[in-house]
């Protein structure tokens, strides 16, 4: 079939804003201990639901009108699958228990503060969880029937994460860390004797980690003889194992990127086989994750082929040895998979596979040399539409991820496809500061936020232009949160380089951001920029609001009214400056939205607005003669 010639950015596309707004976000998947149920949580239109699938029956909604959502920090750690039912954190701050059989969900804890990461004890009498109230975080325990007030098991640290109970119910392991660290900077792994009946811990031991060594996901072997976890004592990560009987610690895997950045509760990268003879782990390589198994007997590592999936998350193993996980690829939307023997079964989908492959752009991992001699990474999505073509290099939407300690993966990216199917290229920059490329790469942003991320973005775009992959006159820079901060700095420090900017809940004033942000990131700026008041000059130099008079390119700014991470004043200060400087701009404030947009009506409006904005200021733009 002959393609029709039509200018870039004007190609008709079946990927409508409503399709993006209607995509389900899959959060987690777990087996019940007896294999009778597979549970997963999913979110749509601002509502999270917990589903349970019996072994030989259809799945059903376990949570009903309730909203299972971990409420500590950025969330996560929504639920725990027990034998008879599931415990889950509700958005109202309480823990609930819902049996798999008939009956309504019953509250376990009072309504104050917020909960996350529940763990039901093996005897199914108690639940252990992370709780936060008035900026104080603890690990607490409560009877599963809600008959008694919760008791504090551990307090004193600023943050807690990933509590794990041994199969005999006698040991508790957990991760904790303190300000000014983020969990990927340094954290501690503790092990203690647990008396659930008394609500107490004893014989508390520090196993690994300190202010400079992060640790991640303690997990007991099913036979109660071992504890595994991830650690990072150097450039790359290690998989470690404690033999509980002898106290011997051995390093099983090293020299690989294994640990995800712990932005939320409930993340997993490890799982045990039911016979305790294998450990499954994830490895991150150049924007893709792969699943591997390690034999404790032979120490042999085997890659488990789950083609064609390039992003695998939240692995878990049933008592029968069947894997369940979340998986996706550029051509396959996220789904819950059951992996058994040589077979793979799709249990749940984030959306239907309705789009022909020709509308899904295949990302290309690209790298370039920075001006200071470092190899920097990104993913480039070329324009993709089976019906249309255009001559020359395309306009490119340059996407800057948030965090900034985060990463863009080679995975299903419907936002990228929204643009590429209309005739744009899409360039996701994994600038220095991103995870997935080693500790030195991630730590390179410390003290340099605003400069290094911007340098890598500009030089990445120059590399695209040099390779003929981008029209230098029609570049767009887009990002949210920390990514929005880079967007604003790009428009300030490189006016004219980008034709337009799209900024969602971006940081514009580092001083007020330092004062107003939430507990989790309260000291993040000290690491990324510097401590106040000593670094006041740097805060001023890299706060876009103080240099907004240099912006001359069109800007679209989007903000949620209930954002506690980047409050609306950050966006509204910038909007006032753009107004006074007569810069073409638009501003959308979405009522009831927080840090990221979840409601269908707002997501539809967002992408419709962005599409119109780019047509006006990029596709239909022209250079006026002097």
In the chain, what is the greatest distance between 2 CA atoms, to the nearest angstrom? Answer: 81
- Give the pLDDT of residue 577: 96
Helices (H) and strands (E) in the chain, counts: 10, 38
Q: What is the mean pLDDT of the chain?
A: 96
User: For 272-279, what is the mean pLDDT?
Assistant: 98
Kindly list the strands in the beta sheet with 106-107, ordered across the sheet, starting from the edge strand earlier in the chain.
Answer: 79-81, 85-89, 95-99, 106-107
Measured CA to CA, the distance from residue 428 to residue 103 in angstroms comes to 47
User: For 391-410, what is the mean pLDDT?
Assistant: 97
For residue 60, the SS3 value is strand
Phi/psi of residue 33, each to 5°? -60, -25
User: For 157-178, what is the mean pLDDT?
Assistant: 98
What ranges in 408-523 are assigned the alpha helix state H? 414-420, 439-443, 452-466, 482-493, 510-516
pLDDT at 1 over 90: no
Measured CA to CA, the distance from residue 562 to residue 559 in angstroms comes to 9
- Sorted by sequence, the CB contacts under 8 Å of residue 155 that are 6+ apart come out as 136, 137, 138, 139
Query: Looking at the DSSP assignment, which residues form a beta bridge with residue 99?
Result: 85
Q: Could you report the per-residue pLDDT of 298-325, keeping only the tens digit for each? A: 999 999 999 899 999 999 999 999 999 9
Confidence of residue 621 (pLDDT cuts 50, 70, 90): confident
Query: Looking at the DSSP assignment, which residues form a beta bridge with residue 98?
Result: 86
Q: Say if pTM beats, i.e. exceeds, 0.85.
A: yes
Confidence of residue 56 (pLDDT cuts 50, 70, 90): confident
- Give the pLDDT of residue 473: 97
Measured CA to CA, the distance from residue 623 to residue 513 in angstroms comes to 37
- Give the pLDDT of residue 150: 97
Which contacts of 534-541 are long-range, i.e. CB under 8 A and separated by 24 or more positions? 539/510, 539/511, 539/514, 540/511, 541/450
Q: Could you report the per-residue pLDDT of 206-245, keeping only the tens digit for each? A: 999 999 999 999 999 999 999 999 999 999 999 999 999 9
Q: Do the domains 26-221+257-349 and 4-18+363-507+554-619 match in fold?
A: no
Measured CA to CA, the distance from residue 462 to residue 370 in angstroms comes to 10
Q: Could you report the per-residue pLDDT of 12-35, keeping only the tens digit for each? A: 999 999 999 999 999 999 999 998
Could you give the percent of the chain with pLDDT greater than 70? 99
4-18+363-507+554-619 topology per CATH: Rossmann fold (3.40.50)
- Sorted by sequence, the CB contacts under 8 Å of residue 255 that are 6+ apart come out as 236
pLDDT at 625 over 60: no
- Sorted by sequence, the CB contacts under 8 Å of residue 342 that are 6+ apart come out as none
Query: Looking at the DSSP assignment, which residues form a beta bridge with residue 168?
Result: none
pLDDT at 352 over 90: no
Measured CA to CA, the distance from residue 413 to residue 422 in angstroms comes to 15
- Sorted by sequence, the CB contacts under 8 Å of residue 384 that are 6+ apart come out as 358, 359, 360, 361, 362, 417, 420, 421
Higher pLDDT, 307 or 336: 336
Burial of 255 (0-12, 13-18, 19+ CB in 10 A): exposed
DSSP state letter for 609: H
Count of residues making up the chain: 626
The terminus-to-terminus CA distance of the chain in angstroms comes to 44
Cis ω for the linkage preceding 533 (within 30 of 0): yes
User: For 41-60, what is the mean pLDDT?
Assistant: 94
pLDDT at 624 over 60: no
User: Is 26-221+257-349 a domain of CATH 3.40.920.10?
Assistant: no
- Give the pLDDT of residue 622: 66
Pairing of strands 332-340, 475-480: unpaired
Burial of 588 (0-12, 13-18, 19+ CB in 10 A): middle
Which string of DSSP letters, residue by residue, matches 115-158? EEEEEE-TTSSEEEEEEEETTEEEEEEEETT--S--EEEE-SSS
pLDDT at 553 over 60: yes
Q: Could you report the per-residue pLDDT of 444-484, keeping only the tens digit for each? A: 999 999 999 999 999 999 999 999 999 999 999 999 999 99
Confidence of residue 626 (pLDDT cuts 50, 70, 90): very low
User: For 333-337, what is the mean pLDDT?
Assistant: 97
User: For 524-542, what is the mean pLDDT?
Assistant: 95
- Give the pLDDT of residue 355: 86
- Sorted by sequence, the CB contacts under 8 Å of residue 101 that are 6+ apart come out as 84, 85
DSSP state letter for 465: H
Measured CA to CA, the distance from residue 326 to residue 346 in angstroms comes to 10
Measured CA to CA, the distance from residue 561 to residue 505 in angstroms comes to 10
Residue extents of the structural domains in the chain: 4-18+363-507+554-619, 26-221+257-349
């Amino acid at each position: 079939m002959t393609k029709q010639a039509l200018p870039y950015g004007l190609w008709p596309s079946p990927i409508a804003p409503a399709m993006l707004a209607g995509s389900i976000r899959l959060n987690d998947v777990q087996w019940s201990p007896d294999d009778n149920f597979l549970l997963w949580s999913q979110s749509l239109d601002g509502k999270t639901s917990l589903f349970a699938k019996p072994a030989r029956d259809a799945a059903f909604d376990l949570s009903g009108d309730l909203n299972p959502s971990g409420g500590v920090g950025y969330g996560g750690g929504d639920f725990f699958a027990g034998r008879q039912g599931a415990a889950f954190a509700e958005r109202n701050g309480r823990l609930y228990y819902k049996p798999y059989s008939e009956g309504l969900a019953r509250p376990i804890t009072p309504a104050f503060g917020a909960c996350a990461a529940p763990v039901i004890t093996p005897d199914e009498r108690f639940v252990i969880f992370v709780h936060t109230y008035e900026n104080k975080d603890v690990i607490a325990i409560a009877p599963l029937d809600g008959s008694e007030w919760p008791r504090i098991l551990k307090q004193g640290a600023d943050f807690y994460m990933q509590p794990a109970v041994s199969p005999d119910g006698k040991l508790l392991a957990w991760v904790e860390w303190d300000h000014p660290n983020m969990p990927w900077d340094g954290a501690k792994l503790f092990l203690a004797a647990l008396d659930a009946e008394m609500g107490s811990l004893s014989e508390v031991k520090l196993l690994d980690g300190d202010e400079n060594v992060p640790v991640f996901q303690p997990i007991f072997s099913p036979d109660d003889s071992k504890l595994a976890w991830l650690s990072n004592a150097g450039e790359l990560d290690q998989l470690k194992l404690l033999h509980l009987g002898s106290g011997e610690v051995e390093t099983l895997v090293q020299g690989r990127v294994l640990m995800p950045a712990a932005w939320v509760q409930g993340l997993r990268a490890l799982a045990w086989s039911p016979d305790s003879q294998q450990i499954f782990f994830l490895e991150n390589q150049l924007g893709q994750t792969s699943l591997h198994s390690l034999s404790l007997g032979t120490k042999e590592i085997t890659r488990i082929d789950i083609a064609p999936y390039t992003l695998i998350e939240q692995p878990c193993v049933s008592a029968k040895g069947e894997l369940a996980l979340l998986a996706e690829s550029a051509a396959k939307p996220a789904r819950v998979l059951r992996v058994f023997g040589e077979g793979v079964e799709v249990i749940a989908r984030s959306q239907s596979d309705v789009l022909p492959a020709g509308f899904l752009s295949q990302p290309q991992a690209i790298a370039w040399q920075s001006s200071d001699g470092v190899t920097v990474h990104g993913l480039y999505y070329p324009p993709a539409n089976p019906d249309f073509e255009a001559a020359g290099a395309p306009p490119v939407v340059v996407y800057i991820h948030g965090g900034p300690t985060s990463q863009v993966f080679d995975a299903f990216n419907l936002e990228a496809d929204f643009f590429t199917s209309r005739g744009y290229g899409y360039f996701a920059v994994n600038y220095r500061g991103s995870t997935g490329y080693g500790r030195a790469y991630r730590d390179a942003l410390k003290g340099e936020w605003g400069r290094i991320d911007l340098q890598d973005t500009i030089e990445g775009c120059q590399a695209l232009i040099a390779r003929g992959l981008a029209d230098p006159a029609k570049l767009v820079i887009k990002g949210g949160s920390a990514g929005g901060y880079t967007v604003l700095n790009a428009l300030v420090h490189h006016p004219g380089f980008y034709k337009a900017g799209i900024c969602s809940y971006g940081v514009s004033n580092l001083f007020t951001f330092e004062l107003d942000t939430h507990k989790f990131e309260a000291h993040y700026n000290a690491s990324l920029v510097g401590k106040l008041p000593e670094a006041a000059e740097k805060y001023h130099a890299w706060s876009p609001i103080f240099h907004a008079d240099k912006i001359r390119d069109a800007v679209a700014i989007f903000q949620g009214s209930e954002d506690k991470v980047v409050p609306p004043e950050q966006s509204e200060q910038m909007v006032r400056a753009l107004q006074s400087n007569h810069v073409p701009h638009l501003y959308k404030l979405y009522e009831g939205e927080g840090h990221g947009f979840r409601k269908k009506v707002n997501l539809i409006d967002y992408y419709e607005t962005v599409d119109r904005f780019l047509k006006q200021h990029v596709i239909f733009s022209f250079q006026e003669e002097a």
